[in-house]
Amino acid sequence: MFKIAFLFIINLQIAPELIGDRFITFQNEGYFYIITEEDIYKTENGQSYSVRKHNTHFPHFNFNFLKVDKKGYLISKGGGLVYVFVNNEIYRVDNSFDHRNKYQSSLFEYQKKVFSFGGYGLFTDKNNLTYFDNSTKEWFDYNYFPNETQPSPRRLAVSKVEDSNLYIFGGFQKKINEKLDVYTEYLQDLWRLDLKSHVWEYCGETTISDLFDPKIDLNQVKIVPYKENHLLITKQNCFLIDIKNNLIKQFEGFNSAIITSNGSNKFI
């Protein structure tokens, strides 16, 4: 026991050397974590790190992090694979497979479960809602009533749960014009899903898409939790999305370098 504890509190004076995209990063309870093929690095100040070994095999390192019921969940960005991060240990908990059809979906927690709305995969955008069942360790559809009005398929939407209501705002959708050219359109509508009745309600629109570059690179778009709200970050702009108070705020003098892949900025 003493040997394990000692290994965990070793402080590194510099950040770990990282290889390509072979690592996962996330923030949890005031700490920043980097998970590589063999190690878990933890830092509070970005200057000194503690490190310990892990025995988990990752088929890839494309994972999102979501906190649910005091546990951290690492969820494959394409959907399917689920790992739990608790007490500085990592365990795979799903009986599923790498779906690869929910990239850039909106993850959220409801009733102590992981939910995923929308996303992109298999050449199409999605508007379905899936959830991970902790007992069967599988993913299931959270069905809507047929013939009811519902939001169009999208990815990178902002999601927020208030009581038993899911709010979905914006997102991007693939479009094809009369010349068969493919382009991306930013959706600016707001929807509410009653998670008890499974019924959608259209709530209105904004004009936020007027501020986006029509040729925007979706790989440089980030949805970042910020206090009780979200930041929508593109290469040109940063917006505060406050669904509860019906507010969108654009930050002036935004430094687009924070979402580039240079140096430590690639961890954002």
For residues 33 and 128, membership in a common domain is answered with no
Confidence of residue 154 (pLDDT cuts 50, 70, 90): very high
What CATH number is associated with residue 190? Answer: 2.120.10.80
For residues 248 and 172, membership in a common domain is answered with yes
- Among candidate residues 55, 70, 96, the one where a domain is terminated: 55
For residues 71 and 30, membership in a common domain is answered with no
Confidence of residue 256 (pLDDT cuts 50, 70, 90): low
For residues 96 and 8, membership in a common domain is answered with no
For residues 177 and 149, membership in a common domain is answered with yes
For residues 76 and 141, membership in a common domain is answered with yes
Q: What are the CA-CA distances from residue 104 to residues 7, 119, 125, 221 (Å)?
A: 36, 5, 10, 10
**Residue bearing the bigger pLDDT, 31 or 47:** 31
- Its domain, for residue 36, covers 1-55
For residues 90 and 198, membership in a common domain is answered with yes
pLDDT digits (tens, 9 = 90+) for 40-98: 999 998 888 999 999 999 999 999 999 998 899 999 999 999 999 998 899 999 999 99
DSSP class per residue in the chain: -HHHHHHHTPEESSPPP--TT--EEEEETTEEEEE-SSEEEEESSSS-EEEEE-----S---EEEEEETTEEEEEETTSS-EEEEETTEEEE--S-------BT-EEEEETTEEEEEEEEETTEEEEEEEEEETTTTEEEE-PPPTT---PPPBBS-EEEEETTEEEEE--EEEEE-TT--EEEEE--EEEEEETTTTEEEEEEE--GGGGS-TT--GGG-EEEEETTEEEEE-SS-EEEEETTTTEEEEPTT--GGGGSSSGGGGG-
For residues 97 and 141, membership in a common domain is answered with yes
**Residue bearing the bigger pLDDT, 214 or 169:** 169
Confidence of residue 148 (pLDDT cuts 50, 70, 90): confident
- Percentage of the chain with pLDDT > 70? 90
pLDDT digits (tens, 9 = 90+) for 100-137: 999 999 999 999 999 999 999 999 999 999 999 999 99
For residues 153 and 242, membership in a common domain is answered with yes
Q: What is the mean pLDDT of the chain?
A: 87
Highest mean pLDDT pick, 9-13, 69-73, 150-154, 226-230: 150-154
Amino acid 135 reads: S
For residues 47 and 130, membership in a common domain is answered with no
For residues 140 and 44, membership in a common domain is answered with no
Q: What is the pTM of this model?
A: 0.86
